[in-house]
Amino acid sequence: MTGTADTAVAPVVVVGIGADGWDGLPPASRAEVERAEVLMGSARQLDLVPAGVAAQRVPWPSPLTEALPGLVAEHAGRAVVVLASGDPMLSGIGTTLTRLLGAERVRVLPAPSSVSLACARLGWAVEDTEVVTLVGRPIELLHPHVQPGRRLLVLGSDGETPAQVARLLAERGYGQSLVTVLGGLGGPDEEVRTGTAATWSQPAPALVVTAVECRAERGTMPLPTTPGLPDGAYESDGQLTKAEVRAVTLSRLAAVPGQLLWDVGAGAGSIGIEWMRAHPTCRAVAVEASAERAERIARNAARLGVPYLRVVHGHAPDVLARLGAPDAVFVGGGLTTPLLVETCWDALPVGGRMVANAVTVESEAVLARWHAEVGGDLVRVEVSRAEPVGSFTGWKPAMPVTIWSVTRW
C-alpha cells in the first residue's frame, strides 16, 4: 500500500530571555535554543546567547512588522527559535507571531515579565497595578489612566518615555506624582531612580519601566472615564453636547469593549471621545462636515487620551458608506437631512443601538416619526442651572433636548 504522510509543520518557538541573559534561562528554554537551526531576535538578545550555539543568527530587520511574514516564510521547515524580552506575550513578538501564524504554530516559553519584576521591586500587588503599554504608541494614550491615587506601570519604546510621562503628568496638574524609573530589571546593571514629575530631569537607560504614583495637585479637576466630563474639558465653538445630556446619551449608547460607534454630526467630538474612554478597545468614527470642527475634534481626542479616534471630514449620509459597519450610531445633528436616519438605521446590525438628539421642532418631528415606526424610547431632558438674579439666585433653563434611543432587533 502506498500513500502520502502529512508532515506537521514545526512550531516557531518563542523564548523569553531576561536582562540576566543565558544564566537566567531555565533548562527547557536553553534546550530549545540549543536545538535551533535559526535563531531570530534583536542584536542585543542574540549577543546574550553563547557563541557555542551553532544556529544561524538572524537579527531583526527594520521595520520588523512589514518584514516578518517574509522572514518566517524564508525559514519555513527549519527549527526556528525567536528570542524576546521577558514575557513575549506582553507587548511582545509572541503576540505578533500568534496573530500572523495562529496559536497552533507558535510555542511560547516566557521569562518573568518586566511588570512582575517591577512590582516585585516596588512592593506593589500586580492585580492592583494598571499597566499602560506605549510601545510604538502615542503618549496621549496615558491620559485616561491618570487618576488621583492610581499606581501605573508604563511600558515605553525607549529611554525617552520617563521624560515624556513626567511632562504629561505635570501639564495635567499631577506634577507632584512620584515617578520611579527601573532600568535593566533582573540584570547585573539594574538601577532605580526616583523623583517627582514636576522636577524630573534624570537620564534613563533604554530598557526601562516607568512607575507612577499619581498625585493630583490642589485644584486639579479629575477627568474620570465615566460619561459626562465637564464641558470645560473640551475645546468648542458651542456645538457641544452638554455634560448632563451627554451622560444620558452615552448610557443609552451602552459602550461595549471592542465595539465601533459612528458619531454623526460630531461637533466637538465629545460623544465619540467618551465612548472610547469607556474602555481601551472601544472604537469610534467622528463624522463632521466643518473642516474647522474636524480639526478641533482631533485636538480634543488627543488631549483626552483617545488619539486613535478616526475623524472623517465630510457630509453625512454621503461619507457613511466608506465607514466600517457600526455597533452603535449617535446622530447629534442634521436629523432633517434626507436619508440620514435611514442610512444609519440600515447600517446597524441586529442588537445595534441608535441614539439621536434633537433641539428643534423639525428635528423632533423626525424622531417622533421614527419612534412611531420602529419603537424605542423617546424622552425629553431639561436642565436648569443656578445663576445670579440680582443679589439672589434663580434657575436659568437650557434648551430642552429630545432623545430617541432604540435597539434594532
Q: Please tell me whether residues 384 and 294 are part of one structural domain.
A: yes
Q: Which residues have a Cβ under 8 Å from the Cβ of 171 and sit 6 or more positions away?
A: none
DSSP state of 32: H
Among 111, 137, 166, the domain-final residue is: 111
Residue 4 counted as domain residue: no
Among 78, 96, 111, the domain-final residue is: 111
In this structure, of 88-97, 243-252, 253-262, the range with the lowest mean pLDDT score is 88-97
- Is the pLDDT reported for residue 277 higher than 90? yes
Q: Please tell me whether residues 90 and 210 are part of one structural domain.
A: no
pLDDT in tens, 161-176: 999 999 999 999 999 9
- Nearest C-alpha neighbor of 305 from the set 93, 191, 109, 134: 134
The pLDDT score that the predictor gives to residue 379 is 97
E-assigned strands of 219-375?
Answer: 260-264, 283-288, 310-313, 328-331, 353-358
- Is the pLDDT reported for residue 3 higher than 60? no
The pLDDT score that the predictor gives to residue 8 is 57
H helical segments located in 127-262: 161-171, 243-253
Residue 223 counted as domain residue: no
Amino acid at 277: R
Q: What percent of the chain has pLDDT over 90?
A: 92
Q: Please tell me whether residues 266 and 394 are part of one structural domain.
A: yes
- Is the pLDDT reported for residue 7 higher than 50? no
The mean of the pLDDT values for the chain is 95
The pLDDT score that the predictor gives to residue 228 is 97
Q: Please tell me whether residues 268 and 384 are part of one structural domain.
A: yes
Residue 19 counted as domain residue: yes
Q: What percent of the chain has pLDDT over 70?
A: 98
The pLDDT score that the predictor gives to residue 400 is 96
Q: Please tell me whether residues 403 and 297 are part of one structural domain.
A: yes
Q: Is-above-0.85 flag for pTM? A: yes
The pLDDT score that the predictor gives to residue 1 is 40
- Is the pLDDT reported for residue 323 higher than 60? yes
Radius of gyration from C-alpha coordinates of the chain: 26
- The CATH number covering residue 173 comes to 3.30.950.10
State the total domains in the chain.
3
What sign does the dihedral 93-99-100-104 (CA atoms) show?
A: positive
CA gap 365, 332 in Å, rounded: 15
Q: Please tell me whether residues 144 and 77 are part of one structural domain.
A: no
The pLDDT score that the predictor gives to residue 136 is 87
The pLDDT score that the predictor gives to residue 207 is 81
Among 214, 240, 272, the domain-final residue is: 214
- Nearest C-alpha neighbor of 152 from the set 215, 201, 95: 215
E-assigned strands of 70-214?
Answer: 80-85, 106-109, 130-133, 151-155, 178-183, 191-196, 208-213
- Is the pLDDT reported for residue 86 higher than 80? yes
- Nearest C-alpha neighbor of 309 from the set 263, 243, 357, 346: 263
pLDDT in tens, 216-256: 999 999 999 999 999 999 999 999 999 999 999 999 999 99
Q: What share of the chain is helix, strand, coil (3-state, %, to 5)?
A: 30, 25, 45
Contact, 121 vs 51, CB < 8 A? Answer: no
- Nearest C-alpha neighbor of 286 from the set 255, 257, 307, 258: 307
Mean pLDDT, rounded, for 38-51: 95
